[in-house]
Amino acid sequence: MSRFLRRASVVLALACATGAHAADSGIRISDAEAESIGKKIWRNECAGTKDGLTSWNKGEDFPSLGIGHFIWYPAGKRGPFKESFPGLKDFLQSQGVRLPGWLVAAKACPWPDRASFMADFNGAKLTGLRDLLASTVGQQARYAALRLEAALPKMLEAAPAAERDKIRTEFYRVANSPGGLYALMDYVNFKGEGTSPTERYQGEGWGLLQVLAGMSGSGSPTAAFSKSADRVLTRRVALSPPARGEKRWLPGWRNRLATYAP
């Protein structure tokens, strides 16, 4: 992304954060940039594999779908993590993407558990869903950008007053650096804004808010961001319920964070 486009992106995001009219705000990225960032997120979440676009991890109560492993809860089930696949579905429809009829009609994930999901993995619904998700990488990246666009006002509202200037400063310092927009988009999609009280272990969150608040140093902004994210996620694993076995995910998470500051 050119320096002009990076600056345009953060100026527009600032307009959003300071209450400018919605028509004058938003993260602007070209189709090529959206496709490039989307492919990076896809590699991060599921090694860029098509099968990885429809996943249901052992020990979880929901499938993770698309390049960003967007969560979709079955009917009657909810958890501490923010559901994001219904928003993607609505966004794709708003962009004129034709969705299969069963997906349009679905009010919740139609597979009640992992066993039924895996039994149907090569069935028509999940095969067709993978085809759809593989053909809409750029649109999914734009959906992730929308989440980032909305993140800063939420984080500033949730943060203690004494930390708001630091969080705002670090957000723009990362966004204006080479590769920074990708790092912010990927992390907020990966671990959320950090504003939800349900996304805490022993009172400690692990979202973008906590990473920005924990940044230090005057060197590369993306390197500082990556190091802070490592500390935040290491703390998350240490505080997580042992039954979740989150330690097994930490090496992969660290590989992901390394892409923020190549």
pLDDT digits (tens, 9 = 90+) for 137-179: 999 999 998 889 889 999 999 999 999 999 999 999 998 899 9
Whole-prediction pTM: 0.79
Read off the pLDDT band of 187 (50, 70, 90): very high
Average pLDDT over residues 49-54: 97
Average pLDDT over residues 77-103: 94
What pLDDT does residue 252 have? 92
Nearest-5° angle of CA 74, CA 80, CA 82?
Answer: 70
Q: Is the pLDDT of residue 74 over 60?
A: yes
Q: Three-class SS of residue 74?
A: strand
Phi and psi angles of residue 201, each rounded to the nearest 5 degrees, phi first: -120, 120
> Among 188, 191, 177, which residue's Cα sits nearest to residue 222?
177
Amino acid identity of residue 193, one-letter, is E
Read off the pLDDT band of 13 (50, 70, 90): very low
Report yes or no: 24 and 170 within 8 Å, Cβ to Cβ: no
Q: Three-class SS of residue 201?
A: strand
Contacts 24+ apart (CB under 8 A), 108-115: 108/72, 108/73, 108/74, 108/75, 108/76, 109/62, 109/63, 109/72, 109/73, 109/74, 109/75, 109/85, 110/74, 111/56, 111/63, 111/74, 112/74, 112/75, 113/61, 113/74, 114/56, 114/58, 114/60, 114/63
Phi and psi angles of residue 65, each rounded to the nearest 5 degrees, phi first: -125, 145
First to last CA, the chain: 15
| Distance set, CA 167 to CA 26, 50, 147, 158 (Å) | 19, 36, 17, 11
> Among 27, 20, 5, 48, which residue's Cα sits nearest to residue 147?
27
Alpha helix positions (H), the chain: 3-17, 31-46, 85-94, 101-105, 114-119, 124-134, 137-158, 164-175, 180-191, 208-213, 221-239, 250-258
